[in-house]
Amino acid sequence: MAKKLTLDELYKVRRRGKLEFGDAKEELIEVRKAKTIRHKTLVHISKLDKYAFQLRSLIKVGASVTELHFWLQAQGVECARSTVYRWRKKHEKKDEEQ
């Protein structure tokens, strides 16, 4: 059986032409595993997460997206209104799940 290789190692070895090729199904499974690990989505932290408690409190008392955006500007946070809208939409779903 061939040595287990990461996707990067696999590419390097194939370029040199020294790959020991074992069972095709096993090789494909290994390539797919390495690919999924390599293409894992990254978690991005929003600049609005710093103000999550305050924003959620304002949302609970009925603040609109425009009012949230205005409040953030008063705090010195530069962001677009659409950013606030997307943040609110994302966190409403999380609050409903809890």
pTM: 0.56
Region 69-79 average pLDDT: 96
Nearest Cα to Cα of residue 54 among 80, 24, 87, 14: 87
Report pLDDT for 83: 95
In sequence order, which ranges of the chain are alpha helices (DSSP H)? 7-16, 24-38, 52-60, 65-74, 81-97
Residue 1 pLDDT greater than 60, yes or no: no
**Per-residue pLDDT reduced to its tens digit, 19-38:** 566 677 877 888 888 777 77
**Per-residue pLDDT reduced to its tens digit, 39-62:** 666 778 899 999 999 999 999 999
Q: Is the Cβ–Cβ distance between 18 and 50 less than 8 Å?
A: no
